[in-house]
Amino acid sequence: MREAPAGTPHDAAQALPDLVLVVHRSGAVLTCLGGRQLEGGPLPQDLAGRSLEEIWPQPIAARLMQLVRRVLKTREAVSHACTDSERTYEARVSVQGRDRALLVFRDVTGESGSRPAFGARSGSHGADLAAREAFLLETAGAIAKACLVEQRAAVCLIHLGGLESVDLTLGLEQGERIVGIATERLLGLMRESAAADPGARRLARLGHDVLMFRLERIADRDAVAAVAERLQAALREPIADGARELVLEPAIGIALVPEDGNDLPRLLEHARAALLEAREGGSASIVFHSDTLKLKALMRPDLERELAWAMEREQFVLHFQPRIELATGRIVALECLLRWMHPIRGSVDLAEFLPLTEVTKLGIPLGRWVLEEAAGAIGALQRAGCGHVRVSVNVGRRHFSSLELAADLQAALDAGRLAPESLELEVTERMLTRAGGAVEALRQLRARGLRVLVDEFGTGYFSLSELRDMPIDAVKMPRRFVSSLAADPRARSICAASIGIARAFGLAAVAVGIETESQRELLQADGCHEGQGFLFAAPAPLTEVLARLKLPAAVDAKP
């Protein structure tokens, strides 16, 4: 055995593969005992005095804070695995004193060595759920065999969307229970097909909310898609939680052998790129890897850096689109619409960058900035004598589920000395049904006068009982139904049904994307209260909207 060179204890600590911190009950780092620098993070020697939220993205910091408090309460050490959009981490927390805990944090992305994974759950959620390290070794062997005999195989990653909200609002134990139910469902499907294809499919948990399964001896891409769709359908089945039901939003990324690679590291990289695309594409997405995705994965870090710079350099602006009371033509609200004015590319399409903010740490500060700017717009409206016009803000999924929204809302209102009734929030059905703690905070703000609108109403998340109990004031019908209103009888039936449901529950109905007089007339005849679209006004800077509001009649009313 070769003797290691001598060195100081500090040198040895700095060489540790883990980041070792002593953390106070409040979440402040008291000291760093050594370890590697986190990717894109501060140097280890600069961590003392920082909070966990200053070191990690909010979801990971919140999870670590829960672990610290749990350990200090139970006085028992815990281990935990977590993941963000690209990387997988493992954390161990143990008691260090009355109000201090020892946090050992490790980035294990791509590791497949022989070191035991302290975050692995080899004995949980069913005996068939393989330990991660063993599963990765088996998968590498299966891929090599498939290449040798020229057979097709697939590596698939599943993101359990919605689990993060469960962790933050209901606790880690409840999140683990949800994962257990989800994996047992998948294992059940695999057992059913085992007689026909024994040993061909295996499942493991790679991170806190990421599962991996492999398919061997597959016929073609369609066969992979069929399996993925069955697994996804099983995961989307509601999970009972007392008096309510929780619904996961599984997204699946797939890499194929031999098209996307012939070794495990490359296939995992491509499956992760496909998974990221699936997550950005919305719930229940299944995406296969392609060369286009590989290019997007290479471009993503650059875009993320540009977004951070855009916030620092104030490249984001808000435009405002009026919402009209259809019966009178009166402007009742202005919806904030985010724009990125890039110095070289000009106005960047919202669809290009907004999904990225929802899977990175940029979502919360960007949402906070929008609230602050909206509060400034409310003040400008009041100074212009248009205090009756409310300002409506679209809330991002990450900001809403972070539980910081209520505090950020209150801070924005307090800074401008504004009443809550001057502001509206627009959220989706999916967000309201996934974040119980945030909903309760929203309920309290609404009791003080804040208005809440449900965007994209009718997309299939609300039950009627949930709609009855939700703290909302209005529903917005999707543009895709409104745009085909005059030509498609089914679209009109959907709009009429949505309006009828809204009226039955005492809610206002709002139509989005009105572009023609015929659409307006049909909606008004069916009892729609309000609408917005290019028929009335295009989104514009606040100065232009203020000039329009000062006109005697903003919009001609139609009988």
Q: pLDDT of 25-64, one tens digit each?
A: 888 888 877 666 666 667 777 788 888 888 887 778 888 8
Cα–Cα distance list, 20 to 32, 34, 117 (Å): 6, 6, 17
For residues 145 and 133, the answer to whether their CB atoms sit within 8 Å is no
Q: Tell me what pLDDT residue 345 has.
A: 76
Give the tens place of pLDDT for each residue, 290-312.
655 554 555 566 677 788 888 88
What is the CA 166 to chain-centroid distance, rounded? 12
> Which position has the token pair 């672990």?
67
Its CATH architecture, for the domain 9-107, is 2-Layer Sandwich (3.30)
Angle at 264 between CA 261 and CA 266, to 5 degrees: 50
DSSP-assigned beta bridge partners for residue 257:
153
Give the tens place of pLDDT for each residue, 518-539.
999 999 999 999 999 999 999 9
For residues 29 and 51, the answer to whether their CB atoms sit within 8 Å is yes
> Would you say the CATH fold of 314-549 matches that of 132-289?
no
Q: Which of 232-266 are b and which e, b meaning 16 or more Cβ less than 10 Å from the residue's Cβ?
A: beebeeebeeeeeebbbbbbbbbbbbeebbeebee
Residue stretches of the chain with pLDDT short of 50: 1-17, 111-130, 194-201, 295, 551-559
Give the tens place of pLDDT for each residue, 271-286.
888 888 787 665 558 8
By DSSP bridging, strand 210-218 and strand 78-83 are unpaired
> Which position has the token pair 């999916």?
430
On whether the pTM is more than 0.85, the answer is no
Give the DSSP letter string of 135-199.
HHHHHHHHHHHHHHTT-EEEEEEEEEETHHHHHHHH-HHHHHHHHHHHHHHHHHHHHHHHTTSTT
Q: Tell me what pLDDT residue 126 has.
A: 41
- Sign, CA torsion 482/484/485/491: negative
Cα–Cα distance list, 244 to 239, 240, 427, 438, 457 (Å): 9, 6, 20, 16, 20
DSSP-assigned beta bridge partners for residue 452:
425
What is the CA 414 to chain-centroid distance, rounded? 28
Tell me which fold the domain 132-289 belongs to.
Alpha-Beta Plaits (3.30.70)
Q: What is the largest CA-CA distance in the chain?
A: 92
Grouping H, G, I as helix, E, B as strand and the rest as coil, residue 488 is: coil
Grouping H, G, I as helix, E, B as strand and the rest as coil, residue 536 is: coil
User: Helix crossing, 489-504 with 517-525: angle to 10°?
Assistant: 40
Q: Tell me what pLDDT residue 278 has.
A: 82
Its CATH architecture, for the domain 314-549, is Alpha-Beta Barrel (3.20)
Cα–Cα distance list, 469 to 145, 395, 427 (Å): 55, 20, 15
d(CA 132, CA 144): 18
Exposed, middle or buried: residue 203 (CB in 10 Å: 0-12, 13-18, 19+)?
Answer: buried
Single out the residue of 102, 105, 69 nearest to residue 87, CA to CA: 105
Domain spans in the chain, listed from the N-terminal domain onward? 9-107, 132-289, 314-549
Residue 151: what residue type? Q
